[in-house]
Amino acid sequence: MTQEIITLVQRTYEIVNKVNRNPKEEISQIIQKLQKGERLSLIEAGIAFANDTEELDQILFWQARKVKEEIYGKRIVLFAPLYLSNICINNCSYCSFRRENKELSRVRLPLEEAVDEAKAIREMGHTRILLVMGEEPEDKTLSYLEEIIPAIYSEVDIRRINVNIAPLTLKGYERLKKLKIGTYQLFQESYNPEVYREVHLEGPKTNFLWRLTAVERAIEAGIDDIGIGALFGLGDPLFELLGVIAHADYLKKKFGIGPHTVSVPRLKPALNSVFSNDYKISDHKFKKIVALLRIMLPYTGIILSTREPQHLRDELVELGVSQMSAASQTGPGEYRGKKGEEERQQFLLSDHRSLAEIVEVLIDKGFLPSFCTACYRKRRTGKTFMGLADRGQIKDFCTPNALFSFAEYLYEIRDKHPELYKKGNGYLLQVVKDLPNFESIGRAIEYILKGEKDVFI
């Protein structure tokens, strides 16, 4: 396993070094391949990212929109992170959770408070959450989650719990799988070993290969729904972009499943950070990262966080983003407690809109807000999901289930947001009438708008 991963990293170095920054002939060939819907090579993807020409970028963005529409349709999945703890044994220069940050108010939520946070998220309308916490010893982390996750499932109408925690052993992942999680999410942060070494100063996270091979252990333990990503801004974005794509291709070739999600966090200010950012990524380059990921990994869900400002988030849903957090808080206890307490947060937020505001914007832009969790409960994960996504058939499930989950959201907010309820109803009718099986879907929506809950196929 280790040698295969080392080869992957070495190949990324080689490709980055081969990328010609001004190759007129190659750019013409890339444009032709994009117009035909053909997949680019890693070198071609690198050239497309490195070179900004009006014709290339227009074709790139056009093809990204086309791929997104063909695979997932108009639906945008919404979720919220739930930060359980900001206690961490690592010392990462870019993160406010780092061990040596003495200004951070350290918190690990007790069971009752964690459940209350989940209830607050559910009251907004979310049905899926992402649990996040700093790194502590494996048994301590898992024993904590073995208490928290069953309690949330039992006491809160949350239908899917995803988890973003530090790498585990194979036995650790076997314990995690028993908790019936959705996606296991782990970001490599940087695929460049030199950059990785520079920013991870102390703690278990200094082990580059242990982190890089973690999702393989998760898959071997039976967790077939995994999410990867890089923290764009730590190093050369070209290297990180190609690293993510190469990692996804490697996993798909080895296990028959690529990552269910790829996240694209961009480095943001953090309390008492000691990292000096030399790789500021323009909004235009960031759009190209999203577009290229959509084209190169058409089957994967691309996740965008509230790190980004609202105008950019609204634009990126057009270019391939298929999942986004909404009304997020990035410190433990902030949904029920005081909002935006910098002394608890992992990073500063840029999009402060409520869930209802984001839902309305998506409707106005012609997108379908989705709170769906059907694939996980129908076991359409792993190779089953990959097969449907690769053939462009997953939207046959995504669109109806998105409509059902959105109708349930509308029913729940009908008194709190009557104007949004009215607008959402009109949008539902508009979408349903264009579906081939509109009569049966329409009847199901009627039942949901009268109070029927948790309908899915």
DSSP assignment of 164-185: E-----HHHHHHHHTTT-S-EE
% residues pLDDT > 70 (the chain): 96
| Residue 229 bridge partners (DSSP) | 263
Residue 341 pLDDT exceeds 70? no
Tens-digit pLDDT profile for residues 268-285: 877 777 787 768 899 999
Average pLDDT over residues 180-207: 96
Tell me the pLDDT band of 315, cut-offs 50, 70 and 90. very high
CA–CA gap between residue 428 and residue 284 (Å, rounded): 33
Query: Which pLDDT belongs to residue 303?
Result: 96
Tell me the pLDDT band of 133, cut-offs 50, 70 and 90. very high
Amino acid at 158: I
pTM of the model: 0.94
State the CB neighbour count (10 A cutoff) for residue 378. Answer: 13
Could you give the C-alpha distances from 451 to 112, 305, 350, in angstroms and in order? 29, 31, 35
State both tokens at 181: 């999680």
State the CB neighbour count (10 A cutoff) for residue 372. Answer: 26
Q: Which residue has the tokens 């117009």?
A: 35
Q: At a CB cut-off of 8 Å and minimum separation 6, what does 36 contact?
A: none
3-state class (DSSP) for residue 426 = helix
Tell me the pLDDT band of 342, cut-offs 50, 70 and 90. low
| Residue 79 bridge partners (DSSP) | 325
Query: Which pLDDT belongs to residue 275?
Result: 80
Tell me the pLDDT band of 396, cut-offs 50, 70 and 90. confident
**Which candidate, 266, 247, 244, places its Cα nearest to that of 94?**
266
CA–CA gap between residue 50 and residue 16 (Å, rounded): 10
Mean pLDDT, the chain, integer: 91
Query: Which pLDDT belongs to residue 2?
Result: 64
Amino acid at 234: L
Tens-digit pLDDT profile for residues 39-90: 999 999 999 999 999 999 999 999 999 999 998 889 999 999 999 999 999 9
* Contact (Cβ atoms closer than 8 angstroms) between residue 263 and residue 229: yes
Average pLDDT over residues 190-204: 95
Query: Which pLDDT belongs to residue 213?
Result: 96
